[in-house]
Amino acid sequence: MRITQTTLQKMVENNEKFTVLTCYDAIFATMLENAGIDVLLVGDSLGNVLHGESTTLGVTLDNMIYHTRCVARGSSKAFIMADMPFGSYQVSPEQAFENASKILAAGAHMVKIEGGQIMADTIRFLTQRGIPVCAHIGLTPQSIHQLGGYKLQGDSEKSAKQLLDDAKILEKAGAGLLVMEVVPAKLAKKITHTLSIPTIGIGAGIHCSAQVLVLHDMLGLYPGKKPRFIKDFMASAKNIQEAVTNYVTAVKTGQFPSEEHEF
């Protein structure tokens, strides 16, 4: 049976963590869900890992539709979430609806959009019209030039309060899930305990309802210096299947992320 947003919500209510990995093609979709991954995220990180770009800004709507279709063809069990790329949703709620509907038509069950309370009207517009939305706060890679680099967010009292306020407003606007990227574990814990919707952490510590990593990163395919929050699950596995299964077990049993991966 297909995992739905309701399944994820129930898992969290039963204190069961769920697992997310990015996925960009059919063969990995089948493999990841057979290894126990609950959510496949067609991330715009494909701009980095597949296209070799240094940012996600060049990823197009057509790229996202194409990769979502590939993932959907290989998947029969997982919940499929897909990023809305930069420039495809920021202009207006109407623009977001027009583009999100194409991503859903390609096979996604939910779209993910980056940004804080400025995105509340758009989230309300989409969810009231049948498009489930995951919000994404903290380190939002599409704002990289504004953030001034890939660095910790919410590390001052003021910015932590801003993120907590954002999270509450986005939940109220209708977001069904919330990704928190590279924020202090203590703040992610507070946000997770404040919201009723599941939170998904990447570099956000152990207390989130779920964890996500970029597939290539957790398979050790990271060029250059590995950021603190990534664990290479391939290092101790004999094949990819085993690495993914070990990730699933580590997340579900609360062994990943450990202190060495958090801020």
- Annotated catalytic sites, by residue? 181
For residue 60, give the H/E element and its range. none
Pick the binder of ligand KIV from 5, 19, 22, 246 (CB under 6 A).
22
- Asked if the bond preceding 85 is cis, omega within 30° of 0, the reply is no
Per rule CB under 6 A, is residue 43 in the interface with ligand KIV? yes
Q: Which is nearer to ligand KIV, 24 or 125 (CB)?
A: 24
For residue 235, give the H/E element and its range. none
Rounded distance between C-alpha atoms, residue 246 and residue 250, angstroms? 6
**CB contact set of 160 (below 8 Å; sequence gap of 6+):** 154, 184, 187
Pick the binder of ligand KIV from 5, 19, 45, 192 (CB under 6 A).
45
Rounded (5°) CA angle 106-132-139: 95
Rounded distance between C-alpha atoms, residue 58 and residue 56, angstroms? 6
Between the CA of residue 184 and those of 154, 190, 198, 222, 255, what are the distances in Å?
7, 10, 17, 23, 18
Which residues, 69 to 88, sit near ligand KIV by CB under 6 A? 83
Burial status of residue 123 (CB atoms within 10 A of its CB: 0-12, 13-18, 19 or more): buried
Q: Per the structure block, which two tokens stand in for 121?
A: 């009207």
**Number of shown-chain residues binding ligand KIV (CB under 6 A):** 11
User: Of the listed pieces 39-47, 91-99, 185-193, 226-234, which binds ligand KIV according to CB under 6 A?
Assistant: 39-47
CB of residue 6 to ligand KIV, shortest distance in Å: 22
CB of residue 238 to ligand KIV, shortest distance in Å: 26
Q: Which is nearer to ligand KIV, 22 or 30 (CB)?
A: 22
User: Of the listed pieces 7-15, 37-45, 163-171, 240-248, which binds ligand KIV according to CB under 6 A?
Assistant: 37-45
Q: What is the largest CA-CA distance in the chain?
A: 48
- What does the per-residue mask of binding to ligand KIV show for 153-182, with x meaning CB under 6 A? --------------------------x-x-
Q: Per the structure block, which two tokens stand in for 216?
A: 């290539």
User: Of the listed pieces 11-19, 36-44, 125-133, 218-226, which binds ligand KIV according to CB under 6 A?
Assistant: 36-44
Per rule CB under 6 A, is residue 212 in the interface with ligand KIV? yes
Which residues, 81 to 120, sit near ligand KIV by CB under 6 A? 83
User: Of the listed pieces 42-50, 67-75, 226-234, 244-252, which binds ligand KIV according to CB under 6 A?
Assistant: 42-50
Binding site for ligand KIV (CB under 6 A): 22, 41, 43-45, 83, 179, 181, 202, 212, 214
